[in-house]
Each structure stands twice: as structure tokens, then as C-alpha cells.
Amino acid sequence: LTPVALPRRPRVLALANQKGGVGKTTTAINLGTALAATGEKVLIVDLDPQGNASTGLGIDRKSRKSSTYDVLCGDVGLGQAMQETAVPGLFLAPSTLDLLGVELEIASSKDRAHRLKHAIDELMYDQRCSDLTYVLIDCPPSLSLITINAMTASDAVLVPLQCEFFALEGLSQLLKTVEQVRAGLNPRLAIQGVVLTMYDARNNLSGQVMADVREFLGDKVYETVIPRNVRISEAPSYGKPALLYDLRCSGSQAYLRLASEVIKRERALRAAA
């Protein structure tokens, strides 16, 4: 008898922060690429109606046949929505503007917060996706039902925090939401870590914010800090992750270091479980 391998759930991380412009999408794309480069098989789930992760990965609107809207409505599986990207080992479930209306559509259903969780649970039984090791969920800039779906489906939350004066403002609300999801919907939800983004070494404020955040959050903050780097902001307009656009730039190198920290933490979490 040949032993049958039990399906293994990928590690699911939600990139969440209700502030816009803090680096959620940039981190989803480039962390996803860096993880894929180290041999992980990664799916990015674009849950933002703006679809920046989809555009940034070169999947234009015309080619988004099935989207995360269809998935949350229960019309297609995540495996069906999943598309290849230019990065080997990196896949995308794109979003469309339809997602703006999804909350109304599912609000009255009992499993409204579990739609994405169920879709990810089913992935393991889809041959094309059963060997995925990571799912990264790019959340919209809100603590809406969409973000609640992401947190309910996730093992952990990864919080991008921009190095700016108001960095910590709003964080307590985000942490409260994590607590609420843990209490009611998903008791295993952890905080994977907080990543400081758009750090500017020439700006004293950036350094001060970094010190404050580390004092407040301790070792939840990754050692890797993502620098403000023009190559990072240029890459999406070419439909490419920064790591493909310019692997040597400081931003790409930082995302490679972040990926190894994320993997290290995942191993530690798994060993402790």
C-alpha cells in the first residue's frame, strides 16, 4: 500500500492595516515574490476592489475572468480564480471593482465572515493548488467585512506600518479588531509581525518613529525595515514586482530579508503548535 499524503493547509497571512498607502500591496507583491524565489509556492489573494496587486503583477482588467468577488459570492473556487504570474511559483487571485458591492451581497448570509476561509479550505483538495505553501491576502484599507473575511481565514496578520508621524495612530483599533476576530471567529489568529515601510535614513523623523514603534511593540517588529526606494514605486507601472524590475535595489534586497524572517517565524510558530 502506498501511503496517501494528507492535504496540508498553506500558511495564510493577511496583510492588514486600515490606513491606505502604508505598503500593504507592495509588501504582498514583493514578499510573495521573495517567498516564491526561495522555493515556496505562493498565492496572493487580492481583496482590494482597487486591484492594485493585480495590476502590479501585470494582470490587466481584461484578463481577470474570475475574481475574488466571484469567490466571496461562492460562484467559483479560489483555484478557478487563480492565475499564473511572471514569477515562477507565484499565483494571483485577482480582484475587480465588483468587489465594492460584495458586502451587500453577502451581508445577510450566515457564513458571511467565513466565505474566504471556506474557499481556502477547499483549495487543498484542488490538484493544481494542493501544494501551495503560502497564501498572502492583500486587504483593502478598512476594517470592513472583507478584512474580517481575511482575518477569519488566516493563521496570522502581518501589519505594514509606514514610518511617519502618525504611524501608531489607528494601530490600537487594528489590534482590537484582531482581538474581536480571535474571540468570535478565529481563535488561532496570531500576529506574525509588524514591518516598518518607507523608512528614510536621511529623515530624523523616520528614525524616531522606528524607535517609538519598537518600544511599543517590542519583538513583534521585524528586524528588516523596508527603505523608501524609488525603484519600488516604479515597478508596478511595469506590471512587475520590484524584485523582477531591479533585484539589486535596496528595496528588493530588504524584501528578500523580510521573507527569510517570515519563514523563520513561521517555523517557530509551527514548532510551538
Any contact of residue 24 with Mg ion (CB under 5 A)? yes
Among 49, 51, 193, 251, binds ligand ADP (CB under 6 A): 251
Residue placing its CB nearer to ligand ADP in the complex, 55 or 67:
55
* Cα distances (angstroms) measured from residue 38 to each of 2, 90, 116: 30, 11, 26
Does position 197 interact with ligand ADP (CB under 6 A)? The reply is yes
Counting contacts by CB under 5 A, is residue 147 touching Mg ion?
Answer: no
Site string for Mg ion, 51-90 (x = CB under 5 A): -x--------------------------------------
CA dist 139 and 28 (Å) reads 9
Alpha helical stretches, state H, the chain: 24-37, 52-56, 68-73, 78-81, 102-106, 115-123, 145-153, 171-184, 204-217, 230-234, 242-245, 250-272
DSSP-based three-state secondary structure for 65: coil
- Tell me if 232 contacts ligand ADP by CB under 6 A: yes
Q: Is residue 201 at the binding interface for ligand ADP, with CB under 6 A as the rule?
A: no
- 10 Å CB burial of residue 211 (0-12, 13-18, 19+) is exposed
CA dist list (Å): 245 to 32, 35, 62: 15, 16, 23
Give the strand pairing for 134-138 and 83-84: unpaired
**Interface stretch with Mg ion, choices 34-42, 45-53, 99-107, 145-153 (CB under 5 A):** 45-53
Does the protein bind ligand ADP through residue 224 (CB under 6 A)? no
Query: Is 25 near Mg ion (CB under 5 A)?
Result: yes
Taking residues 2 to 31 in sequence order and writing x for each that binds ligand ADP by CB under 6 A, - otherwise, the string is ------------------xxxxxxx-----
**Interface segment toward Mg ion; rule CB under 5 A; list 47-55, 97-105, 114-122, 214-222:** 47-55
Q: Which residues are 162's β-sheet partners?
A: 197
Q: Which of 28, 20, 36 is nearest to 68 (CA)?
A: 28
**Interaction of residue 19 with Mg ion, rule CB under 5 A:** no
Q: Which one of Mg ion, ligand ADP, none interacts with residue 23, CB within 5 to 8 A by kind?
A: ligand ADP
Q: Contact positions toward ligand ADP, by CB under 6 A?
A: 20-26, 52, 141, 197-198, 226, 228-229, 232-233, 236, 251
